């Protein structure tokens, strides 16, 4: 029998801030404010000895949980000597007393959310994490982590609002003494957030093919972009037809290479913005290298070979009511953007700790089939598909009620984690 090697436990869904990028601030949010009961956490202790990494947060602020220190201490008592116990926080409640208790209890790592320096960017309202709060939290931790092997880090959600400040944020983190920085793209819940995202669902293979046919079109005096716009026309002029014929050749070559073409994404692709962002990422990476910080940057374009880090890490997710889920994408019920349309995502659980042990749920046939199918990554390429999101998904308002176009039982084709756009602790 086996258990997950990485376990995300949502200690609480409550939060002391109201960040505008958080799913809890989105219309139609169905996430209630709850704490994970300590007795439910204690049911996991016999199995935590086989867990390599324990993350004690989800949507909420873990420092609000009245038994967080006790959870850390109980986990440390049963986990492997090199087992990692950590969580992500906005830092507001990280007092000197709390810092000392957590470090003494056996905390391994704490990652603070920060999207901009104080006074910079639209995300630094009084309801969002500020550099002042994070600096104070790191300062309160510093005296206690010197004798302990405790790592501190930052998680930055990068967008058009704050990308110019990214190198400065890395420099600031180094000045504060953090060990690592995770950078992620926006998880878009509405069209406005989609427009601010720096991540393109277009793979490099698609872009290379498109650039090739753009050059062919230029040599023939054809406007290929005009041809893309002509897809929505009924009365097409002769130049449109020429461009459409060239696009048909491109589509045929794409099909031969198992490449999907999403015409609308090609129209929206901003090469100048992509080059500028790439340069900023390179500068940020150099700052991290110079200052000795481990910096994890996300790709700017979708990866052709899809994979799920949660599956590869053998991770599982536990909600405040004891539900066991496979990933961040299916941890809660909410609405988000699927291409250019809003889709509903329903929480997908495989059992509850009130009824069965984590081992029994993890080893259950249904959960094992799900993990194996997700690992094979044979599901539809929904982010690249010109038909996405499928009409049945939009009309049914449930991503889990139907198999995808390939007959897959997993909804991973709609997940931005699978194409590299999102990163987590």
- Give pLDDT, residue 225: 80
334-338/341-345 β-pairing: antiparallel
Identify the CA nearest to 414 among candidates 308, 285, 270, 282. 308
Query: Rounded to an integer, what is the distance from CA 286 to the centroid of its chain?
Result: 24
| Spatial CB neighbours of 254, under 8 Å, sequence gap ≥ 6 | 206, 209, 260, 261
d(CA 396, CA 132): 45
d(CA 229, CA 250): 16
- Give pLDDT, residue 138: 97
What's the length of the chain?
425
- Give pLDDT, residue 238: 61
Cβ atoms of residues 117 and 79 within 8 Å: no
Residue whose structure tokens are 């590299």: 420
Cβ atoms of residues 169 and 114 within 8 Å: yes
d(CA 265, CA 189): 18
- Give all strands (DSSP E) within 241-379, no chain letters: 294-296, 301-302, 315-318, 324-325, 334-338, 341-345
- Give the number of other CB atoms < 10 A from CB of residue 177: 13
| Average pLDDT for runs of 10 along the chain of length 425 | 93 92 78 95 97 96 98 98 96 97 97 80 53 95 88 96 96 97 93 91 91 90 80 59 86 87 83 95 98 97 90 97 96 84 88 97 96 91 70 53 72 88 89
Longest dimension (CA), the chain: 75
| Enclosing H/E stretch for 410 | none
3-state secondary structure of 184: strand
């Amino acid at each position: 029998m086996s258990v997950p090697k990485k376990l995300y436990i949502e200690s609480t869904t409550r939060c002391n801030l109201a960040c505008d990028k958080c799913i809890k601030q989105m219309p139609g949010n169905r996430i209630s404010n709850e704490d994970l009961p300590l007795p439910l956490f204690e049911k996991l202790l016999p199995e935590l000895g086989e867990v390599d990494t324990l993350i004690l947060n989800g949507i909420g602020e873990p420092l609000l949980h009245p038994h967080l220190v006790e959870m850390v201490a109980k986990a440390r008592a049963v986990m492997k000597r090199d087992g990692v116990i950590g969580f992500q926080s906005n830092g507001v409640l990280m007092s000197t007393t709390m810092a000392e208790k957590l470090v003494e209890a056996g905390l391994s790592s704490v990652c603070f959310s920060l999207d901009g320096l104080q006074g910079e960017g639209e995300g630094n309202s009084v309801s969002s994490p500020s550099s002042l709060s994070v600096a104070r939290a790191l300062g309160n931790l510093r005296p206690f982590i010197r004798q302990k092997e405790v790592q501190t880090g930052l998680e930055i959600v990068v967008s058009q609002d704050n990308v110019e400040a990214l190198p400065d944020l890395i420099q600031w983190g180094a000045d504060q003494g953090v060990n690592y920085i995770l950078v992620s793209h926006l998880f878009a819940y509405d069209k406005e957030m989609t427009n601010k995202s720096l991540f393109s669902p277009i793979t490099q293979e698609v872009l290379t093919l498109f650039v090739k046919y753009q050059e062919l079109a230029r040599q023939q005096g054809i406007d290929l972009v005009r041809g893309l716009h002509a897809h929505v026309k009924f009365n097409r002029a002769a130049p449109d037809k020429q461009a459409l014929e060239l696009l048909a050749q491109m589509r045929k070559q794409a099909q031969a290479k198992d490449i999907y073409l999403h015409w609308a994404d090609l129209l929206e692709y901003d090469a100048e913005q992509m080059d500028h962002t790439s340069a900023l990422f390179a500068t940020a990476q150099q700052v991290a290298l110079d200052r000795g910080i481990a910096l994890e940057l996300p790709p700017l374009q979708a990866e052709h070979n899809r994979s799920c880090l949660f599956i590869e890490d053998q991770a599982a997710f536990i909600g405040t009511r004891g539900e066991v889920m496979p990933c961040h994408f299916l941890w809660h019920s909410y609405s988000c953007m699927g291409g250019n349309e809003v889709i509903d995502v329903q929480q997908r659980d495989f059992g509850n700790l009130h009824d069965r042990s984590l081992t029994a749920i993890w080893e259950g046939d249904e959960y094992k089939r799900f993990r194996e199918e997700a690992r094979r990554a044979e599901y539809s390429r929904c982010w690249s598909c010109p038909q996405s999101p499928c009409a049945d998904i939009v009309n049914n308002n449930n991503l889990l009620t139907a198999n995808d176009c390939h007959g897959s039982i997993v909804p991973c084709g709609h997940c931005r984690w699978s194409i590299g756009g999102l990163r987590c602790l």
